[in-house]
Amino acid sequence: MSGWDISSSGVEFVTSLVADAMDDVAKDVKAYGTDMESAAVSAGTVSGPYCGAAPTGAIGAALAIFVEKTAGDVLFLGARAAKSVNGAREATAYYLAGDLEMAGRSEHRALGAPKIDLPGQSGGQGGGDK
């Protein structure tokens, strides 16, 4: 801890850049979901004429499985970035207040992987912090 030499304006500048990047990633994640759904519908099937809802084809089913299996990883990206930004800001606030012990604790907590709760699943995911 004695090696810390923090510029609060530098921390705020960098964390604001990360927050801006997180906003862009959130837009991309939303587009990802929409684009994957569109791709699955557009992939079609190998069936003949049908009445009612279109049956799911092999490509659409594979895309649905891919999205399901990668959802936790995609959500983890945003959660990890948010936890890092918040931890850096919190640790900096404690540092500026002269509480190096709490600054260290905040830094340590920020290093842990975030918990990700996916709809329909119990427990969190997040790269080993289970």
Is the confidence at residue 25, as pLDDT, over 60? Answer: yes
pLDDT on residue 130: 34
Is the confidence at residue 27, as pLDDT, over 80? Answer: yes
| Beta-carbon contacts of residue 103 (< 8 Å; ≥ 6 apart) | 1, 4, 91, 92, 94, 95
pTM for this predicted structure: 0.63
Label residue 53 by pLDDT band (50, 70, 90). Answer: low
Q: Name the residue with tokens 């997180």.
A: 22
Tell me the per-residue pLDDT of 56-104, one tens digit each, with 9 for 90 and over: 678 888 888 888 888 888 888 888 888 889 888 888 888 888 887 888 8
Q: How many CB atoms lie within 10 A of CB 39?
A: 13
Phi, psi (rounded to 5 degrees) for 125? -120, 160
Q: Show me where the domains of the chain are located.
A: 8-45+55-111
Label residue 17 by pLDDT band (50, 70, 90). Answer: very high
Tell me the per-residue pLDDT of 111-127, one tens digit each, with 9 for 90 and over: 888 888 776 665 544 44
Is the confidence at residue 52, as pLDDT, over 50? Answer: yes
> Mean of the pLDDT values across residues 13-31?
89
pLDDT on residue 37: 81
pLDDT on residue 124: 46
List, as one string, the DSSP characters of 37-50.
HHHHHHT--S----
pLDDT on residue 51: 65
